[in-house]
Amino acid sequence: MAPLDLDKYVEIARLCKYLPVCGLAPSGCGAPGGPPFLSPGPPLGIPSRRGGGPRLCDYVCDLLLEESNVQPVSTPVTVCGDIHGQFYDLCELFRTGGQVPDTNYIFMGDFVDRGYYSLETFTYLLALKAKWPDRITLLRGNHESRQITQVYGFYDECQTKYGNANAWRYCTKVFDMLTVAALIDEQILCVHGGLSPDIKTLDQIRTIERNQEIPHKGAFCDLVWSDPEDVDTWAISPRGAGWLFGAKVTNEFVHINNLKLICRAHQLVHEGYKFMFDEKLVTVWSAPNYCYRCGNIASIMVFKDVNTREPKLFRAVPDSERVIPPRTTTPYFL
């Protein structure tokens, strides 16, 4: 089988086209009910170091296997929040912040669910990761989960577009390999949700077994589900998973780990970003007009160095510039 043409994969994904199912993983080849090829010529392959047939999901899993639970990243870097399948707004994000590989990116999870194009969005990010693995870091969000995606859109989208759940299964294997956190110049921690009462140091994050479905409780769960709030220390989260954590907890964690800032996503911010706790924590939200109805602005946070940060704001692409498929998103906020 010929090596994967990564440039071709990136170009296909950039056009908001999803790959033939056998372009995602080897066992998809010959699967019944798949769509016609959306790229010229046959599906493209890539050698997998784990053996077996060569395909994109396997290849990206191999890349992610080499990454730490707390992946080191150097400045300059641009940090992004939730995308939620809003493909055309992801393209607007890249127009605002610069294209890969010119700009180095950290995406803090929640790539899928709710938007019209979760499959195309995740495929695009995987293709970019495969082509430029050192220029894009993908963190796991609470929606990179089998249970959540079966309820909030991604599973149904894969079923609709492929006629079966094979592509969803391949993507969930990638979910399991996504790293939990990124550390910018050893001083800025990026994580999807927030802190955990079971985690005092970064080394404790490094010891988490991440190659699994997100548990219902415990440190791993908390890192992707918790939220900052005006509480003394810890409080029960109304989400039913993770915790609410306050300024005291944040300041202690930042001090113990010699951090300047915690970057996280996970919560809609109508202004695009929000600093809390004496600017020790910032929420970055990158899905404008969330669910195509919230009317919010989105942002990305550019770090030239650990002391120089610049939020860049952007609005949703006008309806005239996006294609709306004949289906609806799941009407729920989680």
At 111-148, the pLDDT tens digits run 999 999 999 999 999 999 999 999 999 999 999 999 99
Rounded CA-CA distance 125/49 in Å is 21
Bridge partners (DSSP) listed for residue 78: 105, 302
Q: For residue 127, with 0-12 CB atoms within 10 Å meaning exposed, 13-18 middle and 19 or more buried, which class applies?
A: buried
User: Is 0.85 surpassed by the pTM of this model?
Assistant: yes
SS3 182: strand
Give the pLDDT score at 34.
38
Q: Which domains does the chain have, with CATH numbers?
A: 68-318 (3.60.21.10)
pLDDT at 327: 56
| H helices present in the chain, as ranges | 6-14, 21-24, 56-65, 87-97, 118-131, 146-152, 154-162, 166-177, 202-206, 219-225, 247-256
- Is 272 a residue whose pLDDT tops 90? yes
In terms of DSSP bridges, do strands 181-184 and 70-73 run parallel, antiparallel, or are they unpaired? parallel
Q: Smallest Cα–Cα separation from 130: which of 225, 45, 256, 206? A: 45
Q: Which residue among 143, 255, 266, 270 is the active-site one?
A: 143
Separation CA 195–CA 212 (nearest Å): 20
Distance between CA 245 and CA 237 in Å, rounded? Answer: 9
Pick from 133, 77, 67: nearest CA to 104: 77
**Residue 37, pLDDT above cutoff 70:** no
Q: Which tens digit of pLDDT belongs to each residue from 138-157? A: 999 999 999 999 999 999 99
pLDDT in tens, 223-261: 999 999 999 899 999 999 999 999 999 999 999 999 999
Question: Annotated catalytic, 192?
Answer: no
pLDDT band at 68 (very low <50, low <70, confident <90, very high): very high
Q: How confident is the model at residue 26 (pLDDT cuts 50, 70, 90)?
A: low
| 54 pLDDT above the threshold of 90 | no
pLDDT in the model for residue 321: 87
